[in-house]
Amino acid sequence: MGNKQSNEKQIQESQISQNQSQLSSRDSQISSSNFTINKIQKQVLLNQELIYPSSDNCPSKINVTLNGITFWSNYDSGNLSQVEQIEATTFNLSISEDCQGRIPPVQCNKGTRQWFNFKVISVTDFQANFVIVNIATRFKKIWTNDSDIYVKINKIWSRYPAVYQGFQVKFSFEFKANQIVQFAYMPPWSYKKNQKFFDFYFSQLHPDIYFRRETIAHSLEGRNIELITITKNGPHEQQEYYCPEFLFPDKQQNESLIKFKKQYILISCRVHAGEVPASFILKGILESLQNYNESAKFLLENYVFLIIPMLNPDGVYRGHYRLDSLGYDQNRVYNRILKFPKFNGPLAVLETCKNYNVAFYIDLHAHSVLSNSFIYTNWHPDPSIHQAILEFPKQMKSKVAHFRIKEAMSTQINYEKNQYEIEGIYTEKEENIQKAPELKIHLTKENLVPQSMNDDCPYSINPYLTGVAKSDVYLTTQVMFSYTLEVNYRFYTKNKQVFKYEIIDFITLGRDVIESLYSAHQNQDFIQIKQHLDSNILN
């Protein structure tokens, strides 16, 4: 036992030694910020959070040639960790868990083997059989015998047949000589693609539309977490703004921010790195604003859209499915921002809600198990306010054929006593409900009872999960209309039939978000409740 521990210690010391030059670079980044910690504390922090010196040195980034066939994933959002030739034409492929091999090890990454993205080229014509041998078992429900993957040939992505069998994904491909073929779980929306999209988007906007693009934060590996501002040109002013030390790194000290005299709609995306459908939903939202139709004009005249298109760019670049570069699920840390200010994406969301007049917050996601598209909302004890909160999901239900949810979950909140009584919760595991000591959560086992919901009900009211964006935005700011929009990666059901999602379905869902927000504002009951809430906030 002692020899084993000694060997492990020697390996860790060796890896730490190899990373010294990269650590010194990160050390200088921390020093250049306003992060006021002494030298000893800084070294402790670096040792505790030792990560790979760059994304390209992750286990998910490889370049391997076996008998004239080259496999590589060392590019933005690539993930393939190992290739083993079993027979002349058969290859076993392994994908990397998020933060695999990190020192110290990550405890929560065992269920993160879902996203794969790699390229293959053969020097001759060749028929190959591939087996991805280590898809995470938690995703059994999303794979069926007639599942498929995506293949890119000559810059065109298309579905390609694959077979799920025993937590393995099997498929064959006939290569032409020197033909580059890319295989992926679904067409990737990489960090680089996101940058290029907004480079092009600005040039296509209507002249009446105001557009601003800036860096609201840097990721731990130095990538930009961007904030996009879109509205109709109108009155705005420079306002003083207390800027936390990790936000707006490119602004001069004490530089004021531009604020419009309107309310804001905040939309965030890709806190979970592999949830690519969320980026296509956002694309649909942005295209609707760009088209400048009646719905878009109304919303742009009355609101400012603030968009954070990629909260977790390091995870996206590394080819992660869910976690960031340190192994954290950033959609479970919103209640710990003050203690762990390194979560720059969630910090940007909360600070934006606190410092701008945000009326709506929508966090975009994709779901691996639950089918169709649906919205998680929060529950309010005042029935009229609660109905107003549900107006946006109801409008989505009326416009989107695949929008529904089967289970209901509810959270009752007593704002005056600052107590949170959780009632009627449906959850697979009781421990999924995490207690926050500072919030005095009252929980009884008698309340852990599943509730059914008919198909006409378009929303799900989620239990209060500590650290989730839509819950903590709702609980810690004055943003009542706080939502999580989800869509399944693969399929939806309708009239007891199963249909496969296409990329255009995600884009169309984004367009329906704009139409539903507009339609909600045509409901006078909703308008009256919202005006009442707005007046209370201003007072």
Closest CA to 491 of 402, 405, 408, 401: 402
Give CA 500 to chain center in angstroms. Answer: 22
**What is the C-alpha separation between 527 and 213, in angstroms, rounded?**
31
**Cα–Cα distance for residue pair 480/471, rounded to 1 Å:** 10
| Three-state SS at 286 | helix
Q: Which residue has the tokens 């289970």?
A: 407
Calpha distance 37→476 (Å, rounded) = 27
**CA-CA distance, 365 to 501, in Å (whole number)?**
15
343 strand-pairing partners: none
CA 74 from centroid of its chain's CA atoms: 22
Residue 486 appears among annotated catalytic residues: yes
Distance of CA 393 to the CA centre of its chain: 20
Name the one residue in this structure whose structure tokens are 């840390």.
333
Q: Cα 79 from chain centroid?
A: 17
Read off the amino acid at residue 103: I
Name the strand (E) or helix (H) holding 512. helix 503-520
Among 8, 486, 502, 515, which one carries the catalytic annotation?
A: 486
In whole angstroms, give the CA distance from residue 403 to residue 408: 15
Residue closest to 501 by CA, chosen among 151, 147, 124:
147
Query: b/e for 176-186, b at 16 or more Cβ within 10 A?
Result: eeeeebbbbbb
Report residue 128: phi and psi, to 5°. Answer: -120, 145
Which residues are part of the catalytic machinery?
486
